């Protein structure tokens, strides 16, 4: 609108000059564009000044666009946001954990773009069903279990895994079709009790020594870092951490029982 008002004004003020009309048109165009930008910015603010919350459809569309170029980091950020929001507050300790994880896993490939993706997911209702279905289709079971290991790391970043965080991680595990025994194994690496070492190996505390040895060998084969070596270094690093927890659990049981 202003471009035409200023065009006419410039034409009249500059003695019916064509150049005056052009100058007025340009100035009016700048004003029109500024108003459009301002209106778009305001539309992303709610009445109390907070940024608008993206809908389920908004975020899944964004997820699909991002995974075309940044598949694994986008998956991580979507699940990270779900756990970080679970207890109703996003803590600095959790954000620091995510940053450190990304630096360790992706090295020079880590950038502020990953954090911008995380921020985007934190601003709306995360379409977990759709995202987990996509991850389930793209990733093999061993890698999906590593994702649960990572999510527990976020939840434990502040020193405690709350019930709401536990429930959200368990929900994600179910959506990713991770078995109860595998979930309990990872859970007990972070949420420990007297039977945790046994649960990590997937056996009861009443198991015989032979059953424990057999369970340990099974876990070693199932979760050895070499299983994901072909997928890239970032997967191997995550697998090594989980593999170490399995070995520690077995050594603890051996020490308690005097197993040779």
Q: For residue 68, give every residue at least 6 positions away whose Cβ sits within 8 Å of its Cβ, in sequence order, or none.
A: none
d(CA 106, CA 150): 14
Mean pLDDT, 10 residues at a time, the chain of 260 residues: 49 53 47 44 45 65 65 82 89 87 72 81 87 87 85 86 90 94 89 87 92 92 76 67 88 89
Q: Which helix (H) or strand (E) holds 196?
A: helix 196-201
Helices 141-155 and 180-187, axial angle in degrees (round to 10): 40
Q: What is the pTM of this model?
A: 0.67
Q: Is 189 within 8 Å of 146 (Cβ atoms)?
A: no
Q: Please tell me whether residue 48 adopts helix, strand or coil conformation.
A: coil
> What's the maximum distance between 2 C-alpha atoms anywhere in the chain?
103
d(CA 242, CA 150): 10
Residue 252: name the closest of 206, 153, 222, 244 by CA. 244
pLDDT 10s digits, 28-58? 544 444 444 344 444 444 444 455 566 767 6
Q: Is 56 within 8 Å of 125 (Cβ atoms)?
A: yes
Q: For residue 215, give every residue at least 6 positions away whose Cβ sits within 8 Å of its Cβ, in sequence order, or none.
A: 201, 202, 203, 207
d(CA 216, CA 249): 9
pLDDT value, residue 229: 67
DSSP class of residue 191 equals S
Q: Please tell me whether residue 45 adopts helix, strand or coil conformation.
A: strand
pLDDT value, residue 126: 86
């Amino acid at each position: 609108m202003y471009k035409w008002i200023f065009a006419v004004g410039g034409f009249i003020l500059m003695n019916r000059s064509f150049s005056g009309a052009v100058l007025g048109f340009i100035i009016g165009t700048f004003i029109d564009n500024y108003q459009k930008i301002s209106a778009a910015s305001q539309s992303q603010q709610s009445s109390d000044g907070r940024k608008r919350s993206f809908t389920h459809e908004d975020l899944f569309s964004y997820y699909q666009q991002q995974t075309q170029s940044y598949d694994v980091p986008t998956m991580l950020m979507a699940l990270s946001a779900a756990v970080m929001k679970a207890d109703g507050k996003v803590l600095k300790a959790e954000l620091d954990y995510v940053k450190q994880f990304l630096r360790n896993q992706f090295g020079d490939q880590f950038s502020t773009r990953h954090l911008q993706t995380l921020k985007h997911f934190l601003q709306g209702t995360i379409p977990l069903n759709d995202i987990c279905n996509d991850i389930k289709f793209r990733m093999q079971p061993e890698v999906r279990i590593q994702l649960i290991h990572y999510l527990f790391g976020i939840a434990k970043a502040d020193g405690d895994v709350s019930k709401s965080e536990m429930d959200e991680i368990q929900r994600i595990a179910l959506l990713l079709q991770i078995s109860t025994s595998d979930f309990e194994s990872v859970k007990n690496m972070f949420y420990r009790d007297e039977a945790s070492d046994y649960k990590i190996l997937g056996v009861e505390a009443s198991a015989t020594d032979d059953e424990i040895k057999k369970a340990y060998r099974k876990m070693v084969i199932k979760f050895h870092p070499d299983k994901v070596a072909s997928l890239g270094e970032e997967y191997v690093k995550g697998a090594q951490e989980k593999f170490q927890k399995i070995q520690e659990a077995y050594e603890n049981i051996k020490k308690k029982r005097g197993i040779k």
